[in-house]
Structure 1
Amino acid sequence: MSTVLQIKQVTKSYGAAPALDAVDFSLPDDAYISLLGPSGSGKTTLLRVIAGFEEPDSGSILFHGKRLDGVQPRDRGIGFVFQNFALFPHLSVAENVAFGLRNRKVDPVTDPRALASRVQDMLALVGLKGFDDRAVTQISGGQRQRVALARTLVTEPKMVLLDEPLGALDANLRGRMRSELKIIRERCGVTFLHVTGSESEALAMGDLVLVLDRGRIAQAAASDVVYNSPASAAVARYLNCYNLFAGAVVEDAFVGPAGRFPLNASRRKAPQPAYAIRYDRVAIRPRDARLSDDEVRIEGDFIASEYSGAAVNSFFSLDGGHVFEVESHLSHARPPAFVEKDRYALVWKKEDALVFG
Structure 2
Amino acid sequence: MLTLSRVSRRYGGTVALDGVDFVVPENTYMSLLGASGSGKTTLLRLISGFEEPDAGEIAIDGERIDGKAPHLRDIGFVFQNFALFPHLTVAQNVAFGLRYSAVSPVRDEAEIAGRTQDALQLVGLDGFGHRSVSAISGGQRQRVALARTLVTEPRIVLLDEPLGALDANLRARMCDELKAIRERLGVSFLHVTGSETEALTMGDKVAVLANGRIVQSDTPDVLFSSPRNAEAARHLNAWNIFDAGLCGAASEAVRLAVRFDQIDVAPQGQVPSDRPHLSAKYLTGEFNGPTALAFFRSKDGTLMQVVDHLSCPRLPALVEGQSYDLHFAFDAARQFQEAV
TM-score (norm 2): 0.94
Residue 35 of structure 1 corresponds to 32
Alignment of 1:186-197 (within 5 A): 186-197=183-194
Residue 89 of structure 1 corresponds to 86
Distance of 1:335 and 1:118 partners within structure 2: 58
Can you list the C-alpha shifts for 1:276-304, whole angstroms capped at 9, x where unaligned? 111010112233434142x1122322222
Deviation at 1:122, TM superposition (A): 0.9
Determine if contact 2:271/2:277 at 8 Å carries over to the other structure: no
Task: For residue 79 of structure 1, give the secondary structure of its aligned residue in structure 2.
Answer: strand
Distance of 1:221 and 1:14 partners within structure 2: 29
Deviation at 1:259, TM superposition (A): 4.2
Can you list the C-alpha shifts for 1:147-182, whole angstroms capped at 9, x where unaligned? 100000000001000111111112222122111111
Can you list the C-alpha shifts for 1:198-226, whole angstroms capped at 9, x where unaligned? 11111111111111111111111111111
Task: For residue 10 of structure 1, give the secondary structure of its aligned residue in structure 2.
Answer: strand
1:313 matched to 2:301? The reply is no
Determine if contact 1:209/1:220 at 8 Å carries over to the other structure: yes
Distance of 2:296 and 2:19 partners within structure 1: 40
Task: For residue 91 of structure 2, give the secondary structure of its aligned residue in structure 1.
Answer: helix
- Taking a change above 3 Å as real, the CA distance of residues 344 and 106 of structure 1, as seen in their structure-2 partners, is same
Residue 286 of structure 1 corresponds to 267
Residue 260 of structure 1 corresponds to 248
Determine if contact 2:271/2:327 at 8 Å carries over to the other structure: no
Alignment of 1:210-289 (within 5 A): 210-246=207-243, 254-255=244-245, 258-261=246-249, 273-289=254-270
Task: For residue 326 of structure 1, give the secondary structure of its aligned residue in structure 2.
Answer: strand
Alignment of 1:38-57 (within 5 A): 38-57=35-54
Distance of 2:67 and 2:277 partners within structure 1: 58
Task: For residue 174 of structure 1, give the secondary structure of its aligned residue in structure 2.
Answer: helix
Residue 266 of structure 1 corresponds to none
Alignment length, in residue pairs? 336
Determine if contact 1:36/1:209 at 8 Å carries over to the other structure: yes
Letter in 1 for 2:334: L
Residue 161 of structure 1 corresponds to 158
Residue 348 of structure 1 corresponds to 328
Letter in 2 for 1:220: S
Letter in 2 for 1:351: D
Residue 13 of structure 1 corresponds to 10
Determine if contact 1:262/1:296 at 8 Å carries over to the other structure: no
Distance of 1:334 and 1:113 partners within structure 2: 65
Distance of 2:64 and 2:269 partners within structure 1: 65
Alignment of 1:59-78 (within 5 A): 59-78=56-75
Runs of 4+ in 1 over 3 A off after TM superposition: 333-337
RMSD of the alignment, in Å? 1.8
> Is there any run of 5+ residues in structure 2 with no aligned partner, and where?
none
Determine if contact 1:262/1:350 at 8 Å carries over to the other structure: no
Deviation at 1:328, TM superposition (A): 1.2
Letter in 1 for 2:127: G
Distance of 1:209 and 1:99 partners within structure 2: 32
Determine if contact 2:264/2:328 at 8 Å carries over to the other structure: yes
Residue 338 of structure 1 corresponds to 318
Determine if contact 2:84/2:93 at 8 Å carries over to the other structure: yes
Can you list the C-alpha shifts for 1:302-334, whole angstroms capped at 9, x where unaligned? 222112223111112223333211011234337
Deviation at 1:339, TM superposition (A): 2.4
Letter in 1 for 2:172: G
Deviation at 1:6, TM superposition (A): 1.3
Distance of 2:184 and 2:190 partners within structure 1: 16
Can you list the C-alpha shifts for 1:65-121, whole angstroms capped at 9, x where unaligned? 111132211111110111111100111111110110111123322322221211111
Distance of 2:124 and 2:289 partners within structure 1: 29
Can you list the C-alpha shifts for 1:26-55, whole angstroms capped at 9, x where unaligned? 221000001111111110111111111111
Distance of 1:132 and 1:282 partners within structure 2: 53
- Taking a change above 3 Å as real, the CA distance of residues 334 and 115 of structure 1, as seen in their structure-2 partners, is farther
Determine if contact 1:41/1:212 at 8 Å carries over to the other structure: yes
Task: For residue 248 of structure 2, give the secondary structure of its aligned residue in structure 1.
Answer: strand
Alignment of 1:95-244 (within 5 A): 95-244=92-241
Distance of 2:153 and 2:190 partners within structure 1: 16
Letter in 2 for 1:130: G
TM-score (norm 1): 0.89
Distance of 2:250 and 2:333 partners within structure 1: 10
Letter in 2 for 1:77: D
Distance of 1:66 and 1:43 partners within structure 2: 23
